[in-house]
Amino acid sequence: MPALLGSPLHDCRGSDLASGGKACAGIKLRADTRAMSTNLQRKIVELPELLTAAKEARAEGRTVVHCHGCFDMVHPGHIRYLQFARQQGDVLIVSLTGDSDMSKAGLHPYIPQDLRAENLAALMFVDYVYIDPTPTAESLLMQLRPDVYVKGREYENSTDAGFLAEKGVVEGYGGRIIFSSGEIVFSSTELIGRMPQADQTMLHRLKLLTERYNITLDSVTATLEQFRDLHVLVVGDIVLDRYVFCDALGVASESPVMTLAQRDERSYVGGAAIVARHVAALGAHAFLLSAGGSDDGSQMVTEVLKKEGVDAHLIPSRPSIVEKTRFLNEEHKLFKVDRGGVLPLDSVAEQRATLLLEQQSKVADAVIFCDFGYGMITGGLLGRVLPTLRHNVETLSADVSGGRADLLHFRNVDLLCPTERELRATLNDYDSGLSSAAWALLEQTQARHLFVTLEKRGMVVFERQSQERRSPSWSGRLKSELLPTFADHPIDRLGCGDALLASATLSLAAGADLMHAAYLGNAAAAIEISMLGNHPVDSERIANWAGGRHELARSSVADPGAAIPV
């Protein structure tokens, strides 16, 4: 037996035996891993220990730096932010908002608080990590009193109530606030949306979301049934979307360009007209106000809308309807040609549009603005009619498309539905986090709700903490929820935003809460994106789609009529 003590199992010097070397390496690796885990846990502290460490550091003449945030996914933007913070002093303390308070704020973190804390503790330049049980760092700052408090650059001109309270505390005891350079900004929501996820995982997340907001098959069906009693006014530019289907023959002999053989073409009535067509197909009474002319395109639009039950009024202020021609090979779009430019309403046409809008608003339950930037919606028109519409109509919504339209013109509406690209272009802000950009848009427009679509990743729903304008929470931190896309096999993205806008607006006008509106809007967009071309989505199709959704329970034990806030 004693001879066994000299075997490779007990003596790492037996390196000439491969198995012994591997065994000793395994023992050392496990020991290093245990030591690393212990060191990480030592960095994650409770409040008394944190306050003591900060006090001792200051007594030794060291500068204490503090950062606070969610840190749902620690990405390169966070790394540079925290490295910058560490350079401002000697001891870096990082606090993160706990799961319970994030859920209260409607944020619902992807990564649990314990793992978020471990991720931060693993960074060598972070000295202490604290899980804060409050939604902001205000209370912690009062007790910790760091020498330097570091925030991201997007807070430099922020009027967010939570940040202003933190700023007041720090400046009150003589501390300094430094804003990081913000060289690289990543969105945790965007990164999470890009992560490959198994179908079962996504289904589980959707199931939790529908349960959280009481979205059931019965509640979806009940909302769709309410659409039939609504009167909806749609205002905006009409666009004829022409698809030319071609076969690719090769490269032309005279120059290096593709040779195409046209085999078919189809035209779709789009723009504001497809929104009105969605409204009618969903069962509501639709009235469309737009600009037209005496051309064949205007005649075609009038015939299609009449056939589908849309009451359309086209002010004769254009020589022709705007036409967008897309050339396709199979389902792949090769290029697009636009015909018809910007032609704003003249003063006479604007007065006529104002009178029609004021008359129709007396019976309308909702107004949808669709600004494609071709001149139907002008600043003068909005200045005249928005106050009256706001007074007469319960639900106002708006969306824009194209570089000539401006989201900032739509003030005091209930819902804005831009893409992330449109949002950032409006604000000329391509660096801030998505939540910061969303807050800026709502602050400048004084709108109530915001849906930001993220193409393949779904959309983020933003809502204010209070809908009472006089409340301090009106301009406070936004509540948000990520709703993944429902489109399993996207074919053509044309018109999916219009389907979302129509369905979500009708849902709000029917009395549904914001998440029900987002769910139904997302459903309509998924159905639209599964079809080539611009087709109206009807309520029967959404109902059939909902009947096959695994995340929708048949009913809920909760009051099906109760609105659950985002």
**Which residues lie closer than 8 Å to 511 by C-beta, 6 or more apart?**
226, 563
Same domain flag for 177 and 239: no
Q: Among residues 166, 186, 206, which one ends one of the domains?
A: 186
What percentage of the chain carries pLDDT values higher than 70? 85
DSSP codes joined into one string, 373-418: SSSSS-HHHHHHHHHHHHHH-SEEEEEE-STT--GGG-TT-SEE--
This prediction has a pTM of 0.68
Tokens coding 403: 């570089």
Instruction: Lowest mean pLDDT of 99-113, 181-195, 331-345, 539-553, name the range.
Output: 181-195
Same domain flag for 331 and 467: yes
Same domain flag for 156 and 253: no
How confident is residue 361, by pLDDT bands cut at 50, 70 and 90? Answer: very high
How many structural domains comprise the chain? 2
Q: Which residue has the higher pLDDT, 8 or 548?
A: 548
CATH assignment at residue 390? 3.40.1190.20
Contact call for residues 436 and 478 (beta carbons, < 8 A) = no
**Whole-angstrom Cα distance, residue 446 to residue 428?**
18
Instruction: Please enumerate, as own/partner, the contacts of 73-78 that have beta carbons within 8 Å and a separation of 24 or more.
Output: 73/110, 73/111, 73/188, 73/191, 73/192, 74/116, 74/119, 74/120, 74/123, 75/186, 75/188, 75/191, 76/184, 76/186, 77/184, 77/185, 77/186, 78/186
**Whole-angstrom Cα distance, residue 186 to residue 436?**
12
Confidence (pLDDT) at 171? 94
Same domain flag for 240 and 171: no
Contact call for residues 267 and 242 (beta carbons, < 8 A) = yes
Same domain flag for 415 and 267: yes
The DSSP bridge pattern shows strands 238-251 and 258-271 to be antiparallel
Average pLDDT over residues 205-213: 87
Same domain flag for 379 and 524: yes
Confidence (pLDDT) at 100? 60
Same domain flag for 150 and 202: no
Confidence (pLDDT) at 201? 62
Question: Which residues form the domain of 127?
Answer: 43-186
Q: What is the pLDDT of residues 89-144, one digit of tens each?
A: 999 999 998 876 554 344 456 677 888 888 899 999 999 999 998 888 999 999 99
Q: Among residues 135, 163, 186, which one ends one of the domains?
A: 186
Same domain flag for 162 and 248: no
Tokens coding 334: 């090769």
**Whole-angstrom Cα distance, residue 371 to residue 238?**
9
Same domain flag for 111 and 64: yes
Average pLDDT over residues 323-347: 87
Tokens coding 198: 């198994």
Same domain flag for 100 and 119: yes
CATH assignment at residue 90? 3.40.50.620
Tokens coding 437: 């950009």
The reply to whether 10 falls in a domain is no
Q: What is the pLDDT of residues 41-74, one digit of tens each?
A: 789 999 999 999 999 999 999 999 999 988 876 7
What percentage of the chain carries pLDDT values higher than 90? 57
How confident is residue 39, by pLDDT bands cut at 50, 70 and 90? Answer: low
Q: Among residues 186, 210, 240, which one ends one of the domains?
A: 186
Confidence (pLDDT) at 119? 87
How confident is residue 181, by pLDDT bands cut at 50, 70 and 90? Answer: low
